[in-house]
Amino acid sequence: MRGEGPRAALDRLRAVDQDDWERAYAHRWSRALLMREHMRRAALWADAYGVPERWPFFDVAELARPGLRLGAGLAAEADAFAATLAPRGLGVVCRAAVRWAAVGSRGLPELPHPYEPVVTLFGRGGGYSVGQMIDLDGISVPYGSFAGSLALEPFVALDARVLDMLDATAGERVTYYADAAGPGALVLARLRTASGAGGEVHEEVLVPGTGSWVPADFLRGGRTRAVGKITTCQAASVMRSLLPR
């Protein structure tokens, strides 16, 4: 969505099937990570402009470009679309994403795009509902706090291929490991454990440049001490670096 104009941003949002529950469930793990990243980025922007009370669903363009106006027709379309969305915060951020596409980059804080995670989430199965938790149709994430969101680990690998890889193991316990294979090269390995007591364990490595995971004895073959356990967010970034260009 970077470099996208406001008309294209609105058209992309309106094209989403908001009632595709199967798609939302299939992408539940990536949608949870994307919502968590939205909360983090919203906290960063609210902190930059000194408005923590507006976190987490607000229009950053109002602060970055006071007085910003879209063309009358486009503004009316964006308002009408936002009015169809629930909860209200979803309508706010979708309208804000359209307006943000008209902001440009001049004079802005050096922060990540405020709406890329939540717009990507929306495209992977529609919206969400908010109560004590944020319900993403098949998985819920804590609402958290402004201060807590500022301290979250960044999740920056928003490539659809990476998100699909993460979703492919939803329902399993997955632990990721990385090890240097030589100067400037990494090996990414994972242990997948099926849910339930006594779940079968699979060990795999990601073949660089292919996007394919293959069985391996990388960890249990005596190299356990040579590798480092990494987080899912870190693993996603390594995945992106190893995918075909």
By residue count, the chain amounts to: 245
Predicted TM-score (pTM) of the model is: 0.93
Please state whether beta strands 201-207 and 212-215 pair in parallel, antiparallel, or not at all (unpaired): antiparallel
CA terminus-to-terminus distance, the chain? 18
Q: Give the CA angle between residues 46, 101, 149 to the nearest 5°.
A: 25
Token pair of 243 as six digits: 């995918």
Token pair of 138 as six digits: 């098949």
Closest CA to 174 of 218, 239, 230: 230
Tens digit of pLDDT per residue, the chain (245 long)? Answer: 667 899 999 999 999 998 899 999 999 999 999 999 999 999 999 999 999 999 999 999 999 999 999 998 999 999 999 999 989 999 999 999 999 999 988 899 999 999 999 999 999 999 999 988 999 999 999 999 999 999 999 999 999 999 999 999 998 999 999 886 655 567 899 999 987 767 788 999 999 999 999 998 877 655 544 568 899 999 999 999 999 98
